[in-house]
Amino acid sequence: MKPYRLYIFDLDGVIYRGGEPISGASSALERIRSGGAAVRFLTNNSAQTRAAFADKLRGLGFAAEPEEVFSSAYGAARHVAPGSAFVVGEPGLKAELEGAGARVVEEGGADWVAVGICRGLTYDLIDEAQWRIRRGARFLATNIDSTYPDEGGRLRPGAGSVVAAVAEAAGRRPEITIGKPEPALALMILEDSGISLNETLLVGDRPDTDIECARRVGCDSALVLTGVTSRADAARAVPKPTYVLDSVAGLAAE
């Protein structure tokens, strides 16, 4: 594997699963940083703020600063601000929107309906979101991942499941999707870092989101087998990653 100046890591299934760090991941990232390369974290998870993700990473033994985390909530906030949004999502999405200067609306008109993972999803939330969309609000999805990996090998419903419920009720697909495989977040990282595509490696566990995002952006990719993809699945993956690794620990072994 050739060296890179910028390593972009997905989180769930790559750096950790739920509250469990992936074995060898911390030492691999420490080695990468000590070699002078930049590290960024790219997650479709819209439930938390950048600061909360950085706190979680530090608690699991990883060096991390909020400015190094690019989440779909942060991307949504940069897209919506300074407009207004009715939110179907977690407090982290609302906090990122407000932090960027957007106005979060519960009553009255809103420019956008922003939908992400929502563990408190109710019929009334779906109803209000779809009615606002039908009346002209623009529809934004933080991401469309149907599931995400958790501790013990369990998969849980992701934001895509929530987005699908709203879309079905509204009779309309999202106007914009922020998270992978869409390239918006990766392009933000590249712009902010100033590092070129041919010096960048995107590391993830999903061919259809992470590896497809790298393809759309035009950078190299590494598919790890600690998330939702088995080795048999990796052999059939479309698009093909540049590398297939058992885990991010393999980056330190190369």
Verify that 225 and 156 share a domain, yes or no.
no
Verify that 148 and 160 share a domain, yes or no.
yes
Residue 254: pLDDT above 60? no
**Catalytic residue check, 12:** yes
Verify that 85 and 164 share a domain, yes or no.
yes
Of 160, 177, 194, which residue is a domain's last? 177
Verify that 194 and 154 share a domain, yes or no.
no
Verify that 129 and 165 share a domain, yes or no.
yes
Of 159, 177, 195, which residue is a domain's last? 177
Look at the pTM and tell me if it is higher than 0.75.
Answer: yes
To the nearest whole percent, how much of the chain has pLDDT over 70? 99
**Catalytic residue check, 150:** no
Q: How far apart (Å, rounded) are the C-alpha atoms in residues 110 and 89?
A: 15
Query: Does some domain include residue 57?
Result: no
Q: pLDDT tens digits, residue range 135-149?
A: 999 999 999 988 877
Q: How far apart (Å, rounded) are the C-alpha atoms in residues 188 and 182?
A: 12
Which one of the listed residues 12, 145, 205, 210 is annotated catalytic? 12
- Domain of residue 198, residue span: 6-44+180-253
Query: Considering the chain, what is the average pLDDT of its residues?
Result: 95
Which one of the listed residues 10, 111, 205, 210 is annotated catalytic? 10
Query: Does some domain include residue 62?
Result: no
Of 135, 153, 177, which residue is a domain's last? 177
3-state helix, strand, coil in the chain (%, to 5): 40, 20, 40
Q: pLDDT tens digits, residue range 89-114?
A: 999 999 999 999 999 999 999 999 99
Query: Does some domain include residue 102?
Result: yes
Closest by CA position to 181, among listed 49, 42, 48: 42
The string of DSSP codes covering 131-196 is HHHHTT-EEEES---SEEE-GGG-EEE-HHHHHHHHHHHHT---SEE-STTSSHHHHHHHHHH---
Integer-rounded Cα Rg, in Å, for the chain is 18
Residue count (the chain): 254
CATH code for the domain in which residue 224 is found: 3.40.50.1000
∠ at Cα 78 (137, 8), nearest 5°?
125
Closest by CA position to 202, among listed 37, 27, 40, 29: 40
Q: Domain total for the chain?
A: 2
